[in-house]
Amino acid sequence: MKKISYQLIFSVFTLLVITTYAQTSNYNFIADKSGTGKQSIIFIPGFACSGKVWDSTKINYENKYTCYALTMAGFAGVPALDSASFSIWENSIAAYIKDHKLIKPIIIGHNMSGALAMALAADYPDMISKIIVVDALPGLAAMSNTSFKTNPSNDCSKMIA
């Protein structure tokens, strides 16, 4: 009897590991799902952060929304991709939304992922209900140049074009 229960536990554990790996291996991130609700929110962290940075924010929404906090490949212990790119992450999130039948989720992106949220909304407008961008790519010029001074009349037309 003991042998059967050990075999059963081992079999169930193995099945769970295989199932979990299969679910995450199709995407270039790990998704931590929490909360309940018909409307979904996808929280994408900033550069080099894990999805755990959203824990204190998610707690305010988990009663009304199903929340997905992502940790992108290459950050916070998630194995890096052989050939990573912004578009690979974007397409992977879009595939996740489609595969998991998330109906027009809200995308919240911080820092680098604010730009990722904007790209998702631009390239997949029928998939996304709205985006919230928190500090998209703030101060990168200031980080690389200690004598950086802001210019309130910057001409961004080249960047926009």
Q: What is the pLDDT of residues 145-158, one digit of tens each?
A: 667 666 666 666 66
What is the pLDDT averaged over residues 77-83?
77
The CATH code for residues 24-160 is 3.40.50.1820
Q: How far apart are CA 48 and CA 11, in angstroms?
A: 36
Domain boundaries, the chain: 24-160
- Nearest Cα neighbor of 55 from 38, 65, 68 is 68
User: What is this structure's pTM?
Assistant: 0.70
Residue 65 confidence (pLDDT): 96
HSE-CB for 110 with a 13 A CA cutoff: 17
Pairing of strands 40-44, 29-34: unpaired
Which helix (H) or strand (E) element contains residue 144? helix 140-144
- The mean pLDDT of 125-149, rounded to a whole number, is 76
More confident residue, 22 or 2: 2
| pLDDT-derived band at 69, boundaries 50, 70, 90 | very high
Structure tokens at 109: 């992106």
